[in-house]
């Protein structure tokens, strides 16, 4: 990892939707999300455009609903396992919104956000699990990550991702292996 918080050998598409974490904040949580743009469609550059405030609201009816949003994540895991980094992990990405984890509010302050290309009601590809596992291992080497949670865990009632199609047991079993 670079001193700024970029992972080596990962494609970068820097998002302006980031800011400084509060001073002295320990980055202890990894939050798993899912996203597809347009909803249910994979591939293309709409997610990258969304996270960089370049989404054309005229390109799809759904884009008109989200065009003014300013959001980001640290990482995106594409269907084929490709990893894209938008925000250095030492910076705060705008991914969790109103959230709390184990009594602690404002999860963006102390978490790394990872978006999986997918939907709440579909399965994720094996390549995505492999990439997410490798990413989590790399982040654990550099950060004091202790927990991993779903977006739905930190924003219950407001968010449902990554959804029932995400195989938590598979990921956690892999991460528990040496």
What's the CA gap between 90 and 94, in Å, rounded?
A: 13
Is position 115 annotated as part of the catalytic site? yes
Specify whether the backbone of 59 is left (phi greater than 0), alpha (psi in -120 to 50) or beta: alpha
Q: Facing residues of 105 across strands?
A: 100
Which residue shows structure tokens 């909803």? Answer: 39
- Catalytic entry in 14, 26, 115, 117: 115
Residues with Cβ within 8 Å of residue 141, at least 6 apart in sequence: none
Q: Which residues are catalytic?
A: 115
């Amino acid at each position: 990892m670079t001193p700024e918080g970029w992972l080596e050998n990962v494609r970068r598409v820097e998002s302006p939707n980031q800011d400084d974490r509060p001073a002295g904040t320990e980055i202890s949580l990894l939050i798993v999300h899912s996203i597809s743009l347009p909803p249910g469609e994979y591939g293309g550059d709409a997610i990258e455009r969304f996270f960089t405030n370049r989404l054309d609201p005229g390109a799809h009816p759904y884009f008109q609903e989200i065009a003014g949003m300013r959001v980001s994540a640290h990482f995106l895991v594409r269907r084929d396992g490709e990893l894209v980094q938008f925000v250095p992990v030492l910076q705060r990405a705008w991914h969790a919104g109103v959230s709390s984890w184990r009594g602690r509010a404002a999860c963006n302050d102390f978490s790394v956000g990872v978006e999986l290309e997918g939907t709440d009601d579909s399965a994720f590809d094996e390549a995505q699990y492999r990439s997410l596992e490798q990413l989590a291992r790399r982040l654990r080497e550099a950060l004091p990550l202790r927990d991993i949670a779903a977006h739905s865990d930190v924003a219950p009632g407001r968010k449902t991702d990554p959804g029932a199609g995400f195989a938590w047991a598979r990921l956690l079993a892999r991460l528990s292996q040496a």
